Amino acid sequence: MKWEELTAPQFVQAIETCGGVCLLPLGVIEKHGEHMPLGTDLFIAREIACRAAAIEPAIVFPPYFFTQIFEARHVPGTIGIESRVMLDLLQATCDEIARNGLKKIILVNAHGGNRYFLPHFIMLQLERPKDYVVYLPTEPAWMADPEFAQGWQERVESQGRDEHAGEMETSLGLALFPHLVDRQAIPAGEGAERGRLKELTQAHIYNAIEWYADFPTHYAGQGEYGTAAKGEFLVDHLVEGLVRIIRLVKQDHHSLELQQEFFRRLAGSSGPGESL
């Protein structure tokens, strides 16, 4: 159920059908090696969300790509907006989703560069009272099916880090939008880790230029090993994983209650049982 394709009366009905759950697929616009489209993460997040919502009903938010990507601003096509705008826009978007009656918002993230931004955004949900809950499934939530990790291990052929436009992402692209993937353009060897800050990274000390130090052309992995068949395997498991996540969120009646209790205690004025 794509939000933008529903009529207003259908939208009202859909809130009921979906148990008030909205999927907010999060991508970004950034270079993906030489061979994948700038909107790769957006396309993947949205397609996985739509396929899962077709199995376990949820409303899927329209395309959203204003997320964290400063590390790719030196390469063509990147849209990296100022961090305060990024945070405020995501919060305002969640506020609007909830104002429309969808009180459970699941962030469906397909962009590795959001790995610190989104958990931070989640903690900011306690900054001020609200009548909705934002859920962030992190990697272990998707990998909860042991067959997934094991099945991928059996298929993977590339060596080293497979992170950005590498074997996994290229496979997803070949399964979901093959007409936008240019296999001939995959640069041999360019996705190898440079290790220019390895003394720090091996000691688990992090700074902002670490990613650039390893992958200055914004390509990390060996996309040449990507195939549509591997992509289909990944898509099936990602969709199954998201279906499982949506069901868990639908069953969750505690988070909002606890969140409201927290804000009542914070205000220090009203007793249990009162709503905000």
| All residues at 6 or more sequence positions from 266 whose CB lies less than 8 Å from its CB, including other chains | none
Shortest distance (Å) from residue 161 CB to Zn ion: 14
Q: Are 103 and 133 in contact (CB under 8 A)?
A: yes
Q: In this complex, which beta carbon is closest to Zn ion, that of residue 98 or of residue 176? A: 176
Distance CA 172, CA 42 (A): 12
Q: In this complex, which beta carbon is closest to Zn ion, that of residue 29 or of residue 239? A: 29
Which residues are at the interface with Zn ion (CB under 5 A)? 40-41
Shortest distance (Å) from residue 125 CB to Zn ion: 25
Q: In this complex, which beta carbon is closest to Zn ion, that of residue 59 or of residue 86? A: 86
Q: How far from the centroid of its chain's Cα atoms is residue 274's Cα?
A: 35
Shortest distance (Å) from residue 98 CB to Zn ion: 28
Can you state the percent helix, strand and coil of the chain, rounding each to 5?
A: 50, 10, 40
Q: Are 24 and 108 in contact (CB under 8 A)?
A: yes
Shortest distance (Å) from residue 184 CB to Zn ion: 20
Q: In this complex, which beta carbon is closest to Zn ion, that of residue 44 or of residue 245? A: 44
Task: At 136, list the tokens.
Answer: 């962030």
